[in-house]
Amino acid sequence: MENKRSIGAVYEQKAIEYLKEKGYSIINQNFRCKIGEIDIIAQWKDVIVFVEVKYRKTASFGYPEEAVSYYKQEKIRKVAQYFLTGSNSFVDMDCRFDVIAIEGEEIRHIENAF
């Protein structure tokens, strides 16, 4: 399990670097609560962006973005709601849910993924 976490951390950092290059501000990384976790919470202009990062070495077992199941989406939505409820700073802002899929060294940013 620790190996998966350390690999995940490396690719989450790559995703953060990618987002920063695109002009996003990072608000939080690995936000955890009793419901679950969101990999990255960022801000793009006047939008709060909740980002799920998925990595696969190859597409042999499917594309990384395919691993964001309906169940995972629902969990991320609930964690996002928890985050927004606890913060007055983002009350009037729109939000969206993105996926950053990393396959090998290729990064695909899917905005409004769900």
pLDDT of the residue at 4: 67
Read off the pLDDT of each residue in 46-74 and give the average, rounded to a whole number. 95
Cα dist from 38 to 43, 60, 110, whole Å: 14, 26, 16
Domain that holds residue 73: 2-110
Residue 60, token pair as written in the block = 């042999």
Average pLDDT of the segment spanning 51-58 = 94
Q: What is the pLDDT of residues 65-111, one digit of tens each?
A: 999 999 999 999 999 999 999 888 888 899 999 999 999 999 999 99
Residue 2: predicted pLDDT: 55
The helix, strand and coil proportions of the chain, stated in percent and rounded to the nearest 5, come to 40, 35, 25
The CATH number of the domain where 51 resides is what?
Answer: 3.40.1350.10
Q: Quote the number of domains for the chain.
A: 1
Average pLDDT over residues 46-57: 96
Res 6: pLDDT: 75
Q: For residue 47, name the pLDDT band (cuts at 50, 70, 90).
A: very high
Amino acid at 7: I
What pTM was estimated for this model as a whole?
0.91
What mean pLDDT value characterizes the chain? 93
Cα–Cα distance between 24 and 19 in angstroms, integer? 5
